[in-house]
A and B are shown apart, each in its own frame.
Chain A
């Protein structure tokens, strides 16, 4: 009898468990992400002072997404060809028609766009550290709707940096951490 009560109690407890939600992440639960095979990563919008920062971050993201072996990522030269042939005016913020057109040319299942908001060294008193802030969106190509969105901020001056000095992590390492964080959010 005690065992039965314990089992029922456990079932109730399991039903009360909270759904795991992450801050700043959107998932369209109607989409079967396992069906996505080919991904085109469009140029990332650059809101920083560093001219090549967005391209650098895009390259890191593409490399790590490909290395995950979960999807096939189209090479940047091919993506550029698609953008050129579709006549996309602003590749980092394409319209729905442009997305459909690019995807048709490239044969991509989804398209990823993004915005690089921060990519610089920040200072706090005598301490400085590298900081990156990046957000990405995954758009399905049939209707042009966003099916996943996530953002990540890594680096910056920490309490340890303030207390003991040090210049924080190199920018490359911070970028890797940020992209890794985004991929974890995507593959959760």
Chain B
């Protein structure tokens, strides 16, 4: 029997295969980013680690793996997750403090909080257990079915009297983010997703101490990192510089902030006005991670910030007052230059359309003024029109990009945009700060640019 295919059938077959191929390519798997991903990030990480006071840690470091902090607002198999993570780390050659020994230490020192570490406990861990560093992991989101989701944030803090973050990374995965052709790569069970997430995090961790191991990482730079890596030569327009999708709708930056200077900063848990539990702490952790990536910020370990807030018995029903800021920035307390605080209005982690809505503000020590403020909200399906291209499946990834873009506005050098020639000719004395030229900011700007030109 001769099987003949007409031209139109061939055309439809070809079209079908192209569509199928496109479907399998949909929603690229943007797993996570760390302080040391690749390219520009690698350089930044090296700078971060070499910032003076951080001790050099060898391969034989002893790590205390603290029990996972559950910020997911739901029940989750934390023990299983911990075991999987421990196994993965020991498999990569890291020495972890025995769980029993850590439990004894926790009982002895009545250590209940495991989402951070303060100076006293850090010192005690070093002296009594011989621990070099402490691994703190927070479960941001967990969903077993329809679809499975997991988001983890992990950081390594040095032991001793002055705990400092030397590595931080996070990952947010959704089972349906890379379904592949005919859903062949759709992850339906939580366990494989957990293993994948843990493997990525452990890979990033290993890569931090052994740069040769970076090959196992599937990280690739996000859009803002891409333009950073590409250098100023490729930038033809100010619009190109930031990822518009995640830009805040309005922002303010005082001239007091000097992007060239190094600042110490404390991130206070954001006031949670959302229905979702722990949303304020989650946003705080994302900002800690992104601030670390910037390189010119010395970020205080959140456990120490918590300790000082408890010490001064700060009650902040509407955010930190200037009096609280004064105390926190004082030398006997945190002694920081900047304090980042804010409010979270919405945090929804549905895979169909995650949403995050919050505002942040940064207060400066000497001027006692708000020097940076931004309000931002975004959705996973924003700007998605074709085959899920650009869709974000987890609130974790959404928040990560939003935090990164917001902080780039804080850290962006003051650049004077000269504008169209007609405008320059008319207003040769006046220069315009390019920060007000981003499209979404223009919508709320007091300057009517269309009329101006």
Contact = CB atoms under 8 A, between A and B. Distances in A.
A20 B321 CA distance: 41
B271 to A, nearest CB: 9
Interface stretch (A55-63, A128-136, A161-169): A55-63
B345 A187 contact: no
Contact of B317 (A56, A64, A80): A80
Contact of A75 (B250, B251, B273, B363): B363
A69 B343 contact: no
A180 to B, nearest CB: 6
A81 interface: yes
A72 B252 CA distance: 11
Contacts of B444: 64, 67, 176, 180
Interface in A79-117: 79-81
A180 B361 CA distance: 20
B318 A79 contact: yes
A145 interface: no
Given A59-B359, A63-B252, A68-B446, A75 B322 contact: yes
B369 A72 contact: yes
Nearest to B374: A63
Interface in B321-338: 321-324
Contacts of B370: 66, 72-73, 75
A70 B446 contact: yes
A58 B415 CA distance: 31
B140 to A, nearest CB: 22
A77 B318 contact: yes
A121 to B, nearest CB: 16
Contacts of B322: 75, 77-78, 81
B377 interface: yes
B316 interface: yes
A75 B319 contact: yes
A59 B343 contact: yes
B41 to A, nearest CB: 30
A86 to B, nearest CB: 13
A76 interface: yes
Contact of B361 (A52, A75, A183, A187): A75
Interface in A28-76: 52, 55-56, 59-60, 63-64, 66-70, 72-73, 75-76
Contacts of B321: 75, 77-78, 80-81
A66 B323 contact: no
Interface string A168-180: 0000100010001
Nearest to A180: B444
Contacts of B249: 176
B446 A77 contact: no
B320 interface: yes
A128 to B, nearest CB: 18
Interface in B232-284: 249-252, 273
A158 to B, nearest CB: 19
Contacts of A172: 357, 377
Interface in B288-339: 316-324
Given A59-B375, A63-B373, A76 B318 contact: yes
Contact of A56 (B250, B252, B345, B443): B345
Contacts of A70: 446
The CB with the most chain B CB atoms within 10 A, among A67, A176, A180, A183, is that of A67
B319 A77 contact: yes
Given A75-B363, A79-B318, A67 B273 contact: no
A180 B444 CA distance: 6
Contacts of B369: 72
B357 A69 contact: no
Contact of A80 (B318, B345, B443): B318
Given A66-B373, A69-B252, A77-B320, 19 more contacts: A55-B273, A56-B345, A60-B375, A63-B252, A64-B444, A67-B250, A72-B370, A75-B320, A75-B321, A75-B361, A76-B318, A76-B343, A77-B341, A80-B317, A172-B357, A176-B444, A180-B443, A183-B446, A187-B446
5 contacts: A52-B273, A59-B343, A66-B373, A67-B441, A77-B319
Interface of B: 249-252, 273, 316-324, 341, 343, 345, 357, 359, 361, 363, 369-370, 373-375, 377, 441, 443-446
6 smallest A-B Cβ distances: which pairs? A77-B319, A80-B318, A81-B321, A63-B375, A67-B250, A77-B321
